[in-house]
DNA sequence: CAACCGAAAATCGGATACGATATTGGAAAT
DNA sequence: ATTTCCAATATCGTATCCGATTTTCGGTTG
């Protein structure tokens, strides 16, 4: 019964190692633990995370597809730079095409379950602002993303929700606010959207969402311009 | 100077092997050379394409992200099933949210270069219909995708063009038409869109694009219902 | 002193082999 | 005919090696 093999700290963790590496990397990136523009060496990450290179490469591959890192052929990966001002405007432009419509549809199509989820998501965001730490804002950003996703899902076309998720708007704003400092948070705008959806008021929901996005864009641009 | 090494047929093809594997796989999938739902073994593909497993795994990873294949954890990959009728409706729903607006914007924002590209793309689609083969329709589908991308790009917000590309609408319709038989092709609708953009007529372009998408949806649904 | 050049070091893309684990398909048994 | 069990097979991750390219760094030159 003696172990002739070298002892394994993690005996072949069958829990989808590539996923956990991806999550670890994403967290490192989102928390700005890695400076935008700095290099990401494959086996450096492998050593740091104590896994082999295979799952690291797959995680980087995925992050590249999501725009979190950029690849230079035969020269490794870099942490993706912060979103530019122009790209930020494009992002909100697209959101303004999709989300007000989604909110209006949610006001008619949402199931009771959907409406409850939306109400819960708004309520969950109140306490998240308490702490002054980055961690607190991070939680807020995640809750915010969840609310918008819930509304888009309630609209009835899953493709719209997927498309919005893919924009990772909350990642960009989080990374910006991280540099600028904690932003004030407006629960009232979210409350207004939820109210109009609960009231089965499509035009109201659409308008509330549009106003929220436009205000959000203004706040984020102000943060951007103050930082740079 | 004698080569003690075994001769290499492709001396370390530095042309990004993962890319070419991805392209090969995508072509196999699009041409329905692989039945939807059938299994895709990693080293089976590796042997067939005469590469090692490493680039195959990365190509499959990418195809999974694009929805061309589906993965069952610890049990390999399957060729993704054809799009469902509901998903087809969702797809056109989203396109109708984005593309008419994009066409209207293109009518105002397009540069001279953009307008020329659009004109060329429409012109290129005339001859492509000639052959009766699948190959001919494949070329048409690619040209069609290019036209829509060009218009979206001319609208000025690259994020919109990316979003539309990611839907891979032409892949879905190609795979459907492949099963159903060759569909007739309407160049007149494309011509109308191009005309309105060339004439700097935003409402006209928007309307022409909307009509085109609605007709396209009708045609594709008819093909779908006849097939199943 | 700055700019350029070339060799060494680091790193990437890929190949290959191997172990552990999970799935699968078929034979045996109820 | 349905269930159980087992062997074959495939995936996922590890470890290691290789050629090619990129980067870095030191030295030479204008």
Q: How far is CA B18 from the centre of its chain?
A: 19
Q: Cβ–Cβ of B90/A57 closer than 8 Å?
A: no
Give percent of chain A with pLDDT exceeding 70. Answer: 88
| Nearest-angstrom CA–CA distance, B28 and B33 | 5
Domain A17-79 is found in CATH 3.30.390.30: no
Of B144 and B99, more confident: B99
| Cβ–Cβ under 8 Å, residues B97 and A94 | no
Interface probe with B: pick from A94, A153, A160, A169, most Cβ of B within 10 Å: A94
Q: How far is the CA of A71 from the C1' of D26 (A)?
A: 29
Q: What is the pLDDT of residues A154-190, one digit of tens each?
A: 999 999 999 999 998 888 888 888 777 766 678 899 9
A16: which chain B residues are within 8 Å (Cβ-Cβ)?
Answer: 73
Range with the largest mean pLDDT of A26-30, A145-149, B48-52 = A145-149
Which of A86, A159, A167, A206 best tests the B interface by mutation, with the highest count of B CBs <10 A? A159
Strand order in the sheet with B69-71: B39-40, B77-79, B69-71
Q: What is the mean pLDDT of residues B35-42?
A: 88
- Bridge partners of B71? B77
Least confident range of A75-79, A136-140, A215-219, B172-176: A136-140
Which carries the bigger pLDDT value, residue B96 or residue B46?
Answer: B96
Return the pLDDT at A182.
Answer: 66
> Encoding tokens for residue A138?
């991070």
Q: Band of the pLDDT at A153, cuts 50, 70, 90?
A: very high
Q: Which of A82, A55, A88, A56 has the alpha carbon at shortest distance from A68? A: A82
b (16+ CB within 10 A) / e for B196-214: bbeeebbebbbbbbbebbe
Element containing residue A81 per DSSP (H, E) = none
Chain A residues close to B91, C-beta within 8 Å:
159
For B94, the closest of A14, A73, A157 (CB atoms) is A157
Q: What is the mean pLDDT of chain A?
A: 85
Q: 3-state DSSP call for residue A40? A: strand
Is A123's Cβ below 8 Å from some Cβ in B?
no
Answer yes or no: do A101 and B101 touch at CB < 8 A.
no
**CB-based contact A167 B160, cutoff 8 Å:** no
Tokens of A72: 């230079």
pLDDT in tens, A2-36: 222 233 333 333 457 888 888 888 888 877 778 88
The CA distances from residue B197 to A29, A94, A130, B149, B206, in Å, are 42, 21, 52, 14, 9
3-state secondary structure of B33: coil
Which pLDDT belongs to residue B184? Answer: 67
The reported pLDDT for the residue numbered B4 is 28
pLDDT band at B36 (very low <50, low <70, confident <90, very high): confident
A19 touches chain B (CB under 8 A): no
Residues in B closer than 8 angstroms to A21, CB to CB, are none
Task: Confirm if A140 and A174 have CB atoms less than 8 A apart.
Answer: no
CATH architecture of B85-227: Up-down Bundle (1.20)
Total count of residues recorded for chain B: 228
Q: Where do the structural domains in chain B lie, given as residue ranges?
A: 17-79, 85-227
């Amino acid at each position: 019964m003696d172990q002739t093999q070298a002892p394994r700290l993690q005996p072949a963790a069958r829990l989808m190692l590539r996923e956990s590496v991806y999550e670890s990397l994403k967290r490192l990136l989102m928390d700005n633990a890695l400076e935008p523009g700095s290099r990401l060496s494959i086996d450096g990450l492998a050593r740091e995370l104590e896994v082999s290179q295979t799952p690291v490469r797959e995680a980087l591959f995925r992050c590249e597809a999501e725009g979190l890192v950029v690849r230079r052929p035969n020269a490794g990966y870099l942490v993706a730079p912060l979103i530019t001002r122009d790209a930020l405007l494009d992002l909100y432009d697209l959101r303004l095409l999709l989300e007000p419509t989604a909110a209006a549809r949610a006001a008619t199509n949402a199931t009771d379950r959907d409406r409850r989820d939306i109400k819960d998501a708004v309520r969950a965001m109140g306490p998240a602002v308490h702490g002054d730490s980055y961690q607190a804002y991070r939680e807020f950003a995640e809750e915010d993303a969840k609310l918008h996703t819930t509304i888009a899902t309630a609209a009835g076309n899953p493709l719209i929700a997927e498309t919005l998720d893919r924009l990772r708007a909350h990642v960009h704003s989080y990374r910006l606010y991280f540099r600028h400092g904690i932003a004030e948070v407006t629960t009232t705008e979210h409350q207004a959207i939820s109210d109009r959806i609960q009231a089965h008021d499509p035009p109201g929901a659409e308008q509330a969402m549009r106003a929220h996005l436009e205000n959000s864009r203004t706040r984020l641009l102000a943060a951007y311009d103050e930082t740079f």
